[in-house]
Amino acid sequence: MTFPQPRPEIAALPPYVPGARGDASVVPVKLSSNERPHPPAPGVADAIAFAGESVNRYPDMAVSRLYEALAAKHGVDQAQLAITGGSVAAIGHALQAYAAPGSEVVFAWRSFEAYPILTMQAGATPVRVPLLLDARHDLDAMAAAITDRTSVLMVCSPNNPTGPAATAEEFEAFMAKVPDSVLVLLDEAYLEYVADPAAVKGAEVLASGDHPNVVVLRTFSKAYGLAGLRVGYAIGPAEVIAPIRACVTPFSVSSVAESAALAALADEQSTADAVADTVAERTRVMAGLRAAGWDVPDSQGNFVWLGLGDRTAALVERLGTLDPPVLIRPFTGEGARISIGARDENDAVLAALADGPRALGDDA
């Protein structure tokens, strides 16, 4: 039997490895996907229930109410926004629009799991630039990796899975070396958690008007707690955004997702409270782990990184055999990302790791 053959770059795609969910028999502590541990804002569930009564109807294809609300929130024209089914889709559509087949897409590595997959889906070639030893982007090396084939550069700040944010100064120095013809995607999925005043802020980069080739990506999946609903967006100059909007799958933002996002935006206090709690817990977890002897890069996200190399599996095992098991996100042979959860969940991690890396029982 012969089957239709896919494009070779699609056949070669690596699978996306999602955070572990555990099996149905035990309720694990899920610190594997950088989710908000607090429930969404109180109005969100009502908005979902209300919208649910009319899901026999198509959503508003223009997503008008959410465009209006986000334009007001960011002080931009609606034409400067592209709302998508999660910001992963915004990245994908930006690559469809700008990363021609055969062109090169430069990003840091290790960074977000989805970047190489989305790049290859667009038919472009991923160029991975290793992080610095302190787990930060090597922006000099990324600028040096630009060739005449480079179409898009991605900067993830704070970087998933390692945590550090790029500084505004570093980003400016980097942009000075990037040709205007190269699109720069600044992925700010974790922007709400950034506490370092020196960190780059996409909104300020856009407002300066200095870099018309920068598009900023934001999401409702992390701080707003709507990961299950899939809403994200891109912000940039209208001329750069229009081709991204042209690639959006029609009706891909559901009516339920739009209503929930509006309800979340109507209660920014709930998000601010959840973020403040997570940032305080992040400080506590980083301090506790460091005091126990773990090497933890500065995290500006809702997660911490332990770059354990070969001992990564031992860490996963240690946390996975607790009762209840604590699920984290390992990257085999490199390290593991542990999301910041609720206080008692973080306590379980700190208690299990109190003896430091030596307790993993090898070359520490």
Ligand X SMILES: *Cc1c(COP(=O)(O)O)cnc(C)c1O
Site residues (CB under 6 A) for ligand X, limited to 236-275: none
Minimum CB separation of residue 295 from ligand X in Å reads 22
Cβ distance to ligand X smaller for residue 221 or 259: 221
332, 312 Cβ separation under 8 angstroms: yes
Question: How many residues bind to ligand X according to rule CB under 6 A?
Answer: 14
Minimum CB separation of residue 25 from ligand X in Å reads 27
Minimum CB separation of residue 188 from ligand X in Å reads 8
* Residue-by-residue DSSP string for 19-36: PP---TTS--EE-SS---
Q: Does 189 bind ligand X (CB under 6 A)?
A: yes
Minimum CB separation of residue 350 from ligand X in Å reads 23
Buried b (16+ CB within 10 A) or exposed e, 68-81: ebbbeebebebebb
Site string for ligand X, 199-238 (x = CB under 6 A): --------------------x-xx----x----x------
Cβ distance to ligand X smaller for residue 116 or 232: 232
In whole angstroms, give the CA distance from residue 46 to residue 52: 10
| Tokens 């891909």 -> residue | 252
In whole angstroms, give the CA distance from residue 286 to residue 338: 11
Q: Does 37 bind ligand X (CB under 6 A)?
A: no
In whole angstroms, give the CA distance from residue 59 to residue 57: 6
Q: Does 187 bind ligand X (CB under 6 A)?
A: yes
Report the residue number whose CB is nearest to ligand X: 86
Site residues (CB under 6 A) for ligand X, limited to 81-100: 86-88
In whole angstroms, give the CA distance from residue 29 to residue 337: 14
Minimum CB separation of residue 48 from ligand X in Å reads 17
Token pair for residue 337? 């990302």
Token pair for residue 259? 């209503």
Q: Does 156 bind ligand X (CB under 6 A)?
A: yes
Q: Does 119 bind ligand X (CB under 6 A)?
A: no
In whole angstroms, give the CA distance from residue 165 to residue 19: 22
Cβ distance to ligand X smaller for residue 229 or 286: 229
289, 296 Cβ separation under 8 angstroms: yes
Show the 3-state SS of 282-311: HHHHHHHHHHCCCCCCCCCCCEEEECCHHH
Measured in whole angstroms, the distance separating CA 193 from the mean position of its chain's CA atoms is 12
Minimum CB separation of residue 73 from ligand X in Å reads 16
Cβ distance to ligand X smaller for residue 87 or 312: 87
Q: Does 80 bind ligand X (CB under 6 A)?
A: no
In whole angstroms, give the CA distance from residue 332 to residue 235: 34
Cβ distance to ligand X smaller for residue 264 or 353: 264
| Tokens 């009706």 -> residue | 251
Binding interface with ligand X (CB under 6 A): 34, 86-88, 112, 156, 160, 187, 189, 219, 221-222, 227, 232
